[in-house]
Amino acid sequence: MKKLVLSLAMLMAAFCVMAQPKIEFENKTHDFGSIHEEGGKVTARFILKNVGTEDLVLTNVKPGCGCTAANYTREPIAPGQTGFIDATYDPWNRPGNFNKNIKVSTNEPDQTTPYIIFIKGNVIKRPPTKYELAGYKAGKGEVRLKEYSVSVNITNTQVHLDTLWIRNFFEDGRKISVQTELPAYIQEVNRSFGQEIRAGEEGYIVLKYDGNLRNGWGTLKDRIAIITNDTIEAKKYVHYSVKISEDFSTMSQKELDRAPKVVYDKTVFRFDTIAQKQVANDVITITNTGKTTLIIRKIDTYNLPALSYKMSSMTIEPGQSATMELTYKAQSCRGKQNSNFEVITNSPTNPVQIIKVEGFIKQ
């Protein structure tokens, strides 16, 4: 009797091992061949089948950069039934060969790493538009800007002048009104035309960015608007990326001798292997060895979603210390992690300290 019970238990265990979902792809690579840049988005459908004995679920479908896979079978796929994953690629402004991957995770008990499927092809470069031939690459419609971004490094006492070129490409004599929508620290100081720009005319607007009025530190992002009556795109945006540092050049030697001095007990946040959704913690001690108050101007994590911090104090008196508690919560990324963030202070000898973040995330 005991042998019979043992045999039945072994059979049940074997059945449980065999009773599981199992994915099988018809094809793991789709070659689009040659496609035209101006031809619009292209989509490949990957057919998959559940060759297991339990319902199969696609738990995560993660496309690589430049590829989307928003459309796929989301309901459970019964044994013997098929599902799909649609992978879409936009060739616009991406001439040349491409090879993109989509990582697929399922509810299969023995799956340790995602399946990877691929799309590839070659994008035939489109002929340049009349706007590009004239050097205008920003915006839509018949009114265009030459540039859509400004990147500059200045101190908190400096101003930056930038010239934005604009052109009316209408050929029917239509005049276009042009206005600027600006924050207080960016001013329009000159333009080559009046309130309107004539058809076929090119002109410029000079803008002044005031680092003192901006009242910020590190890398700052701003967006301004050029407002027109272009019916296709009335507002044309220009994106500013300005890095502001503190100007210590006017300090006397006496002031420099009495200035705060910052010391970090370590400049690397290193954590051992952690799994996704797990948390790693560390503490960095910041000490002021100078003679006046040390001010933590800003801790710039570059919007790194996995990293958060908590300062015990943003001001540190001479001879005192403060702690920075760091928390790293593992996101969807896997493998070796290397990133950094900045601590900006009023210490003339070390105003910007880069803190490295290193670790490994397993599945």
Beta strands in 51-81 (DSSP E): 58-63, 67-68
Q: Are 102 and 116 in contact (CB under 8 A)?
A: yes
Coil vs helix vs strand at 26: coil
Q: Are residues 181 and 264 in the same domain?
A: no
Q: Could you identify the residue written with the tokens 């030459």?
A: 146
99 torsion bin: left (phi>0), alpha (psi -120 to 50), beta (else): beta
The CA–CA distances, whole Å, from 175 to 206, 226, 238, 269 equal 21, 15, 22, 58
Q: Which of 223, 222, 235, 226 is nearest to 205 (CA)?
A: 226
Count Cβ neighbours within 10 Å for each residue of 146-172 and write b for 16 or more, e otherwise.
beeebeeebebeeebeeebbbbbbbee
Cβ atoms of 85 and 43 within 8 Å: the answer is no
Q: What is the DSSP letter of 148?
A: S
Do 96 and 147 share a domain, yes or no? no
Closest CA to 138 of 199, 226, 203: 226
> Parallel, antiparallel, or unpaired: how do β-strands 315-316 and 335-345 relate?
unpaired
* Rounded to 5°, angle at Cα 306 from 337 and 276: 70
CATH number of the domain residue 151 falls in: 2.60.40.10
Which residue segment(s) compose the domain that 312 sits in?
A: 253-362
Question: What is the distance in angstroms between the CA of the first residue and the CA of the last residue of the chain?
Answer: 44
Q: Tell me: do 241 and 134 sit in the same domain.
A: yes
Q: So what's the pLDDT on residue 69?
A: 74
Q: Same domain, yes or no, for 46 and 107? A: yes
Angle at 16 (CA atoms; ends 13, 22), nearest 5 degrees? 145
Judge if 119 and 141 occupy the same domain: no
114 and 134 part of one domain:
no
Among 81, 102, 124, where does a domain finish?
124
DSSP 101-121: EEEEEES-TT--S-EEEEEEE
Question: What does the pLDDT read at residue 93?
Answer: 86
Whether residues 288 and 223 share a domain: the answer is no
Instruction: Work out how many domains the chain is built from and give that number.
Output: 3
Q: Kindly state the helix (H) or strand (E) to which residue 255 belongs, with its residue range.
A: helix 253-257
Distances (CA, A) of 11 to 1, 22, 105, 151, 190: 15, 21, 29, 68, 86
Of 58, 57, 27, nearest in space to 44 by CA: 27
- The residues, ordered by sequence, that sit 6+ positions from 19 with a Cβ below 8 Å of its Cβ are 52, 53, 54
Kindly state whether residues 134 and 207 are assigned to the same domain.
yes
Is 43 inside a domain boundary? yes
Nearest to 290 by CA among 265, 310, 260: 260
Full pLDDT tens readout for the chain, 363 residues: 555 444 444 544 444 456 799 999 999 999 999 999 999 999 999 999 999 999 999 998 988 776 777 799 999 999 999 999 999 999 988 999 999 999 999 999 988 889 999 999 999 999 999 999 999 988 889 999 999 999 999 999 999 999 999 999 999 989 999 999 999 999 999 999 999 999 999 999 999 999 999 999 999 999 999 999 998 999 999 999 999 999 999 999 999 999 999 999 999 999 988 887 889 999 999 999 999 999 999 999 987 888 999 999 999 999 999 999 999 998 766 788 899 999 999 999 999 999 999 999 886
- Whether residues 114 and 139 share a domain: the answer is no
In a domain, 42, yes or no: yes
In single-letter form, the type of residue at position 338 comes to N
Do 142 and 109 sit in the same domain of this protein?
Answer: no
- In a domain, residue 199? The reply is yes
Give the pLDDT confidence score for residue 13 in this predicted structure.
Answer: 47
Task: For residues 286 and 317, give the distance between their C-alpha atoms in angstroms, rounded to a whole number.
Answer: 11
Tell me the sheet residues that pair with 97. 122
Q: Is residue 336 part of a domain?
A: yes
Q: pTM above 0.85?
A: no
CA 104/CA 214 separation, integer angstroms = 45
Q: Quick one: 339 and 238 in the same domain?
A: no
Coil, helix or strand at residue 256? helix
The token pair that represents 325 in the structure block: 């508690």
Q: Whole-angstrom Cα distance, residue 181 to residue 237?
A: 10
Residue 15 lies in a domain: no
